[in-house]
Amino acid sequence: MKQHLTKKIRRCRGMAVVEASLLFPLLLILTLGALEYGWMFVEQERILNACRQAARTAATANATQFGVITELTTLLNQDPSLARSRYTYTVSNVAVATGQPVTVNVSVNYANLQINSPNITELFPVPEAIGDSVTMIKEGP
């Protein structure tokens, strides 16, 4: 009787090893995907916050193009991953009349922001670039 139970326990252990070997790669891929997408959303939010702050500065009555660009690049360079990536920006209509829109756009190539190696992230659909645009109305004097 004891020998029969020993064989059954060994068989159960073998099944557990097979099940784990099938399940762990899937769990690893799901975990890496969650990390990659979480990282993408954090970077998207940082870009949005920098755009919003720069647009807020551009909307003030005495804003200058140089001042808005300086603030935008300072905010983007505070984030190490954005600072080393090649981001592009446009700041338009800073010197417009009161009540007119001012716009700040920022775009970053997502390949410069990835945290995983490119071989792993080929499994997940990621955008070519992430960015944001904020438009505000110019304030009066």
Residue whose structure tokens are 């099938």:
22
pLDDT tens-digit map of 105-126: 999 888 777 665 555 556 777 7
- Cα distance between residue 73 and residue 29, in whole Å: 35
Find all residues with CB under 8 Å of 2, minimum gap 6, and list them.
none
Residue whose structure tokens are 């090649």:
86
pLDDT tens-digit map of 89-109: 889 888 888 888 999 999 988
Positions in the chain whose pLDDT score sits under 50: none
134, 48 in Cβ contact below 8 A? yes
Helix (H) or strand (E) holding 15: helix 2-58
